[in-house]
Amino acid sequence: MNYAFYVLTSYGVAAAMTLCLIAWVWLDGRARRRELAELEASGIRRRSFQPKTEPAPPSNGRETKA
Amino acid sequence: MTESLAITKLSDLANPTRFMALVGRLVPWLAAVTALLFAIGLYLSFTTEGDYQQGDTVRIMYVHVPAAWLAMMCYTVMALSAVGTLVWRHPLADVSHKAAAPLGAAFTLLALITGSLWGKPMWGTWWTWGDARLTSVFVLFLMYLGLIALNRAIDDPSRAARVSAVLILVGFVNIPIIKFSVEWWNTLHQKSSVLRLDGPTIDPEFLRPLLVMALAFTLLFFTLHLAAMRNEILRRRVAAQRRMAARMASRQDAA
C-alpha cells in the first residue's frame, strides 16, 4: 500500500473517535441509571410511579419536565 | 404504569416515557445493522482498487466524506430540533439538540483530521486558511464547541434550550456556505462529485464503498443520538428527583 501512514492513521483516528463516542454514551447511560436506582432505593420515586393511594406531595407549581 | 406504551401516532412521541420505551427497542437493532454495514464497508474500503493518480489515499475518502456529511447532517438535525424548541416548546426537541452537539463536534473534528491527512500527500499541505471549504468547516467545529459550552453554562435546561436554539438557527447559515464554498470560491478542495444535479461523476468502484460507509456512519449517528437523548432524559429525571428529595427533607426539618 502506498501512503500507508496517511491511510492507516485516518482509519485509526476514525476508529478511536467512534469507540470513544460509543464508550461515552454507554458509560453515561450506566451512571445515570445507577443514580436513578439509588434514588429509588432511598424512597424517592417519580410522581407518576407512586402508588395512587399515597397522597401526592403538595405541588408548589414548579413542575419539572422529562 | 398500566397505560399502553404503544406509539400509535406521532404526537405520542411527546411523552418521554413512550419515547424511552421506543429507544429501548430500537437501539439494539440499529447498533446491529450499523456494525454489519461497517463490516461490509470496511471490507469494500480495503479490497476495491486504488485511484490511478491518488493511489491508496483515495481510501481516506471512505471515512473523510461520511464524517463531513455527518458534520453537516447533525447540524441540520439540531436546526430542526431548534425549531421544535422555539415553535412547539417541545421538551424532546430541547433534549435532541443538546444531545446532538457533542456528536456533531466529534464528526466535524474527524472530517478535519482525515482531510488534513489526505491533504498532506495530495496537496502538499496539512492545512490552508485561504481555502473556503476548510475554513467554513473549522467555523462549524467552533460553533459546536460554543453550543456545548453554552448548554453547560446555563443551569435551567429549558432556558439553555431556548438560548441555544436561537444560536443554532443563526449559525445554520454556515451549512449552505460549506456546501457551496467549493462552487463560489477557488478552493484547493475539489468540487462535489457525488451529490450533483447531473448525477455522481465518481467511478462506481469508489462510489460503492463510499455509499456503504456513508450509510454505516449515518446509522451510527442515529444510534448514538437516540442513546444520548435517553441519557439526557435520565439526567433530567435524576435532577428532578433530587430536587424533590431536597424539598421533602426541608419540609421534614420544618415540621
pLDDT tens for chain B, 255 residues long, are: 445 556 666 666 667 888 899 999 999 999 999 999 999 999 999 998 888 888 899 999 999 999 999 999 999 999 999 999 999 888 899 999 999 999 999 999 999 999 999 999 999 999 999 899 999 999 999 999 999 999 999 989 889 999 999 999 999 999 999 998 988 888 888 888 888 778 888 888 889 999 999 999 999 999 999 999 999 999 999 998 888 888 888 888 887
Do residues B75 and B169 lie in contact, with contact meaning Cβ atoms separated by under 8 Å? Answer: no
Q: How far is B46 from chain A (nearest CA, A)?
A: 10
Phi, psi angles (nearest 5°) of residue B55: 65, -140
Which positions in chain A touch B236 (Cβ < 8 Å)?
64-66
Number of domains in chain A: 1
How far apart CA B195 and CA B192 sit, in angstroms, is 6
Position B23, amino acid: V
The answer to whether B151 and B58 have CB atoms below 8 angstroms apart is no
- Cβ–Cβ < 8 Å for B110, B63: yes
Q: Which of residues 4-43 of A touch B (CB under 8 A)?
A: 4, 6-7, 9-11, 13-14, 17-18, 20-22, 24-26, 28-29, 32-33, 35-36, 39, 42
Beta strand extents in chain B (DSSP E only): none
Structural domain contains residue A24: yes
Q: Classify residue A27: in a domain, yes or no.
A: yes
Most A-contacting residue of B60, B69, B109 (CB-CB within 10 A), to test interface: B60
From chain B, the residues in CB contact with A1 under 8 A are 56
CA distance B198 to chain A (A): 30
CB contact at 8 A, B65 and B192: no
In a domain, A8, yes or no: no
The domain of A20 spans: 15-43
Whether residue A33 lies inside any domain: the answer is yes
> In sequence order, which ranges of chain B are alpha helices (DSSP H)?
16-47, 61-88, 91-123, 132-153, 157-171, 174-184, 204-254
Q: Is B240 helix (H, G, I), strand (E, B) or coil?
A: helix
